Structure 1
Amino acid sequence: MTTTTDTRTKPVRTTVDLTPEMHLELRTWCLHAGVRATQAGVLRALAARLLHDPELAAAIKVDLTPAQT
């Protein structure tokens, strides 16, 4: 049993729906990135950078529309 003071240590799963075209582009990017990259790894790296890079965060805010949230 957990309490509100317990700290979560297990990763939290988040899912995202991509268009078939975006999925293929991301998969292709991972294959040709020149580093060992999985789609999940790329999305984790993007999330980490988004949270710590004010310029990237501002650009993402511009990109977002109500239909994308």
Structure 2
Amino acid sequence: MREIPISAAKRIATEYGYDQVIIYARRCHDSPEPHGEHMTTYGRNKDHCGAAAKIGNFLKRCMHWPEENITKSA
């Protein structure tokens, strides 16, 4: 399991014409591989970056991620 880089979210935004992209990835507990979750956010400018980060943080809180895994600057 690897983190998804912001460049991947940027590539999706550019290719499909979006201002903000939020990627949530999960490997379930029933997998024989190590499990976990990852979130990557992207915005095409500072305002969109902030909005995507806020959405990402909201989703993390809904999924009860530990507070230390929630971005403080958003």
More strand by share: 2
Tell which has more relative contact order, 1 or 2 (C-alpha 8 A, sep 6+): 2
Larger radius of gyration: 1
TM-score, normalised with respect to structure 1: 0.33
TM-score, scaled relative to structure 2: 0.32
More helix by proportion, 1 or 2? 1
